[in-house]
Chain A
Amino acid sequence: MRVWWSLGLLRSELVTVFRRWRTLALFGVLAGVPLLVGIAVRIETRNGGTVGGGPRGDNGPAFLEQVSNNGLFLTFASLAATLPFFLPMAIGVVAGDSVAGEAGGGTLRYLLVAPAGRTRLLVVKYASVLAFCVVATLVVALSGLIVGFALFPVGEVTTLSGTTIPLSAGMLRALLIALLVAGSLVGIAALGLFVSTVTDSGIAAMATTVGLLITVQIVDTIPQLHVVQPYLFPHYWLSFADILRDPVQWTGIAKNLGLQALYAAVFGSAAWARFTTRDVTA
C-alpha cells in the first residue's frame, strides 16, 4: 500500500516537473547543441578539411575530429560538450527548484498535509530530479544521433585505440555512455537538493547550485589545487570516454561512480537532516 502511494506521489511529481515550460525549454536548448555542433562541423569539413586549426586539434571538445568520418561520434562529441556546463546547469535549475520552489510558491505545506511523510517526499523529489538527469542526457544523445546520422556517413566505429568495432557494438557503447553521463550528474543533483532544502527561494537555490558548479569547475582546472581535485564531483566526468578504448578501462569510470555515490550519500542525508527538522512556514 505504501509503495503504491509512493508511486502515485512520484508520478504526480514527474508530471509536474516534465510539464513545466521551463523544463521543455531546457530540453530544447540541450537538443539544439548537437544540431549546432553538427552543422558547424559539416560546414567546416565540406571541402575535406579537418576540424580545428592546429595540428593537434585539442582546442575543441573531445571527439570532434571523428565526427566527419562517423556520425555516431556526434553523440559522443555533444555529450562531451554539454557535460561540463549545460547538463549540470539544467540539473541545478531543476534540483534547486525542487523543494525551495514549492516552499516559495506556498505549495510545500499542502504537500506535507498529505500523509506522505517528509522523508518520502524528499526521496520522491530526488527520484524526479534523477529522472530528469536521465531524460536530459538522452535528449542530448538522441538529438546527436539523429543529426549525426542525417549529416554524416555512418559505419564501423573506430575506438580511441585505433581498433574497429561494428556499428551495433558502437551503438551499445553509446547507450552505455549516455547512462554514465546521466550517472555523473547524480552528485550535483544531490547537492542541488540539499541547497533547495536550505532556502525558501527557488531562484536563490538555483543560483547557489549553478554558482557552486562553476566554482568547482574552475577549481578543477587550477593545477596548484591538485590535492583537492580528486574529491570534486566533476573531476572524473570525462571518464565516460574510457568506454571507447580497446580494451575498455574501468578504473576511471568506477572512481567517477563511486564519487557520485559519495556525494549523493553526503548531500542526500544532509538534505534529509535539514528537511525533516525544519519548520515549514510557507
Chain B
Amino acid sequence: MESQNRLWRVLLLALPILVFSVLVIWPLLSSFYYSFTNWNGFNRDYEFLGLRNFAKIWTDRLFFNAIVNTTIWMAAALVLPTLTGLFLALLLDRQVRGARIFKTVFYLPICLSAIVVGQIWIWIYQPDWGLLNTFVKLAGNPDFNYAWLARPDSALFAVIVAWSWQQTGLSMVIYLAGLTSIPSEMLEVCEIEGATAWQRIRRVVIPLLTPSTVVVVALSMINSLKGFDILYIMTGGGPFNSSDTLAMHMYNESFKKYLMGYGSAISVVLFLIALTIIGVYFRQLRKVDEIYG
C-alpha cells in the first residue's frame, strides 16, 4: 500500500517536472548555450564565440535604447495599472449601485489576448477615424490628425496606455479582495477617532493593502518584463526603435536578423535583470511579511 502510494506520488510529480523541464529549463539552458555561439537559428555549423556576443552588447546603441525604453515601460506598467486598479477598487468596494456590472466591465480586458487589445487600441489611435482623435476633433479641433503610434515621441506611451487599460482589471480584483480582508474594526476605529475619508484611505486602508500591493507589483513586474505581444502588434518596436524594449530587441535580433546567438545573449542579460529585480522584490517581501504576517 505504502509503495503504491509512493509510486503515485512520483508519477504525479514526474509529469509537471517533465513539462517544466521541456518548456522552461531546456529552453533556458539552450539560450545560455547559444549565447556563446553565432548560431543563426537554422544551420548546424555554428561557431563558439566565447563572450564576444556579450562584448557586442556593450557597443550596441540599440541595446541601450531598449534598456531606456524597458525602464520607462516597466515603471509605467507598474505604476499606472496599480494606481488605477486601486482607485477603481476603492470606488467599487462601497455598496454603490451597479458595482457588480462595473467590476465585470473593468475586469473584462484581462480576459482578452494582448493581440486583441492591441488591435482595439490601434483602432482607437487611428489618426483619421480613431476614437481618440474623433473626440479631440469633436472637442473643437476639427483639423486634429495626430498619428499616435507613428510618432517616436508618443508611440511607447500610447502602447503603455493600452497595456494599462488591460492590466487595470487584474490589480482592481486583487485590491478588491484585499479590501474585504481588512478587519471592519480597524475602519470602525477610524470612524470613532474621527478620521476623514482621505485620512482613512491614506493612513489605514492603503497601508493595510500592502500585502495586495505586493501581489499587484509582482504580477505587474512579471507581466511587463514579458510584455512583448502588445508591442509587437501595435508598433513592432518602432517607429525608429522608439518603442523597442529588451524583449522586442531580442526578438528583432533573433528572428528578423537571424542572429540567434546574439539574441540569446540579450535574453541572458534580460534574465539576469529579471533575477536581480526579483531578488530585491523578495527582500522587500520579507519585510512586509514581518509586519503583516
Q: Do A and B make up one complex?
A: no
Which B residues lie at the A interface, using CB under 8 A?
none
